Amino acid sequence: MANTFTQIHIHTVFAVQNRMSLIKQDWQERLYKYLIPSFLQNNILQKTPSQ
């Protein structure tokens, strides 16, 4: 019987026209504090030795 395991990889890139930063500096730190642990917990981002 054939293996029925399927794996889907999704690559998301956040970019804006002319590379203008739309995330304000004071809000960026709060955003990253939320996103990075969530990504690590869900194996979306792999932790590197420098993290």
Token pair for 20: 């203008």
44 Cβ partners below 8 Å, 6+ apart?
38
The CA-based angle 45-36-13, given to 5 degrees, is 60
Secondary structure class of 12 (helix, strand, coil): coil
pTM: 0.39
For residue 28, what pLDDT band results from cuts at 50, 70 and 90?
confident
Nearest CA among 18, 9, 14, 20 for reference residue 44: 9
| CA 32 and chain centroid, separation | 10
Domain chopping of the chain, boundaries: 1-51
What are the tens digits of pLDDT across the range 36-48? 888 888 777 766 6
